[in-house]
Amino acid sequence: MTDGPLIVQSDKTLLLEIDHERAQDCRKAIAPFAELERSPEHIHTYRLTPLGLWNARAAGHDAEQVVDTLLEFSRYAVPHSLLVDVAETMARYGRLRLEKHPTHGLTLATTDRPVLEEVLRAKKVQGMLGERVDPDTVVVHASERGNLKQALLKIGWPAEDYAGYVDGEAHPIDLDESDWTLRDYQREAAESFWHGGSGVVVLPCGAGKTLVGASAMAHAKATTLILVTNTVSARQWKDELVRRTSLTEDEIGEYSGAVKEVRPVTIATYQVLTMKRKGVYPHLELLDARDWGLIVYDEVHLLPAPIFRMTADLQARRRIGLTATLVREDGREGDVFSLIGPKRYDAPWKDIESQGWIAPADCVEVRVTLPDDERLVYATSEPEERYRIASCTHRKTEVVRDLVERHADQPTLVIGQYIEQLDELGAALEAPVIKGETSVKERQRLFEAFRSGEERLLVVSKVANFSIDLPDAEVAIQVSGSFGSRQEEAQRLGRLLRPGHDGKVARFYTVVSRDTVDAEFAQNRQRFLAEQGYAYRIVDAEDIPDLTT
């Protein structure tokens, strides 16, 4: 027995004592392969999962490193059965390989013949495989490359894809570093992707994921399709590419609800690609409009299901996914792994913060009590209505007003999801409201006014969660969200983490109604903060005067 911060249990849970002096070192060491499940005050619970271990394996970590980490930090003897299971789970990755055969085209080969025999008899792969080339190799129908990888992951034998990529149509793209320089971690992220051929790069909001995408494009030097969450994001990508690369405006097309341009570099929104008419997706023909050499998926954790389906057909194209978190609320992390690729690079937020590239953050949960009349309405409401009632209490408006006054000299975002509530806050604070019905032109005007300092306060719906560059935001006040979504928490905190002026600390407030589902959902969102190494304080609304002193 040693005085380590970690308790490793035979059910594959890891308990981390966060007040231990070695807790932060341990958290960083287990982050590549363990998933955080719960994060109350003193003990955080992680779990070892096959997908987490396979992602670690794909990123270059081996079973010996994982086992050594568990042994180094564990307070008690690590169950031998767990160590064996870790080694055997990680060893399952790569026993099957997709390869290009000189005469038979795409094949599935194995280093372990019984595994291939098992897979050939699995119902999930029926119809995807052709003739047997030799005892260890079988032909794969080329159109099934993505579907097969999905199926193999689900039956527990994830395949490594060595089948290579088509170069696509060549197009000159270079970084223009005349007045800026790619940061070391951005360069490492792009190179890790390029050497792997496809995969996901995980970086904090504000850490320059767009520049990683641009660097990947400079590696590929080929026509590129960039998929983004919305039109505002598409235009920000275009501006960045014109400013940071050799590309001109004429070489970059926008493919959105308003504009349909196909150019050597085309930026399309997920929304337009997933528009359905009479049961078909008319805009998916964009994927065949050119011989793309690279596909960039911005905010890959938000990929809609139709995009997964089309990505299954794009396995011969190099693919890079960019995201602040691999957490998906629909549980489809396995599809990201098999179709976009494994995690190739993951920089902990605290590491980027320590290098000075993103601002430090102070995370505070402010708890309010529902007035008696609202408590009664809440108690007698249908379960599906309770979150809205708890989120939209008028008591939150009072608290937000107090917080805004305390930070009157700092650029502030008030963020929520219920439009009625946001309109009420906008009126109470005399601040502009940006929501779904706000035109793209007006959104851009208001975001620019905020960046320039003309507007110091914006009330925004979840349209501002994703891919919106607001580098001057120093304070965010969250009043409601998507039912405890960790991915949403990542985006909202990320709005603040561009380095603040004069070394100021970013303030991230969440206003929560106690004794309601609002507080339960808040606990789930806090898991994201804990995953990234951020502590958070819980205070009563009455204590606001003491918060910023």
- pLDDT of 106 strictly over 80: yes
Rounded Cα distance between 439 and 268, Å, is 18
| Mean local confidence (pLDDT), 203-227 | 92
Structure confidence by residue, pLDDT tens digits, 286-303: 777 789 999 999 988 778
Q: Which residue has the tokens 């590129």?
A: 224
Mean pLDDT of 180-189: 94
Whether 202 and 289 map to the same domain: the answer is yes
Q: Are residues 193 and 333 part of one domain?
A: yes
Same domain, 463 and 493: yes
Q: Mark whether 74 and 125 lie in a shared domain.
A: no
Distance CA 223, CA 212 (A): 16
The share of the chain scoring above pLDDT 70, in percent, equals: 90
> What phi and psi values does residue 381 have, to the nearest 5 degrees?
-90, 160
Cα distance between residue 115 and residue 136, in whole Å: 10
Residues 322 and 242 in one domain: yes
Domain that holds residue 19: 6-92
Domain boundary among 297, 319, 347: 347
Q: Do 63 and 155 lie in a common domain?
A: no
Radius of gyration of the chain (CA): 24
Res. 237: pLDDT tops 70: yes
Structural domain contains residue 170? no
Residues 263 and 326 in one domain: yes
- DSSP calls for 368-397: E---HHHHHHHHTS-HHHHHHHHHT-HHHH
For residue 195, being part of any structural domain is answered with: yes
If asked whether residues 297 and 313 sit together in one domain, one would say: yes
Answer yes or no: is 174 within a domain: no
pLDDT for the residue 365: 87
Tell me the C-alpha distance between 97 and 113, whole Å: 12
Domain boundary among 60, 92, 124: 92
| Cα 87 from Cα 62, distance rounded (Å) | 8
Contact 244, 180 (CB under 8 A): yes
Asked if pLDDT for residue 549 goes beyond 50, the answer is no
Helices 440-452 and 231-244 sit at what angle, rounded to 10 degrees? 50
pTM for the model stands at: 0.78
Tell me which DSSP letter residue 477 carries: E
Chain-wide mean pLDDT for the chain?
Answer: 86
512 lies in the same domain as 369: yes
Q: Is 93 helix (H, G, I), strand (E, B) or coil?
A: coil
Phi, psi of 385 (to 5 degrees): -95, -15
Measured distance CA(216)–CA(183) in Å, rounded: 14
Asked if residue 294 and residue 269 are part of one domain, the reply reads yes
For residue 351, pLDDT over 80 is answered with no
Determine the average pLDDT of the residues in 262-287.
85
- Comparing 239 with 309, the larger pLDDT belongs to 239
User: Going by C-beta distance under 8 Å and a sequence separation of 6 or more, which residues neighbour residue 311?
Assistant: 146, 295, 303, 319, 339, 340
pLDDT 10s digits, 449-507 = 988 889 999 998 876 555 455 557 788 898 887 644 555 556 666 655 565 546 678 88
Number of domains present in the structure of the chain: 4
- The dihedrals phi and psi of 2, each to the nearest 5 degrees, come to -120, 170
Q: Which amino acid is at 513?
A: S
Q: Dihedral (C-alpha) 302, 307, 309, 312: value to the nearest 10 degrees? A: -90
140 neighbors 128 (Cβ within 8 angstroms)? yes
Closest CA to 440 of 299, 271, 239, 233: 233
Length of the chain, please? 549
CATH number of the domain at 292, please: 3.40.50.300
Range name among 105-109, 112-116, 239-243, 514-518 with the lowest pLDDT average? 514-518
Rounded Cα distance between 411 and 71, Å, is 46
Q: Residue 391's pLDDT is what? A: 87
One domain, residues 202 and 149? no
Please report whether residue 115 resides in a domain: yes
Annotate 168-185 with b (16+ C-beta within 10 A) or e (fewer): beebebebeeeeeebbeb
Same domain, 502 and 375: yes
Would you state the structure tokens that stand for residue 135, as one six-digit string?
């005892």
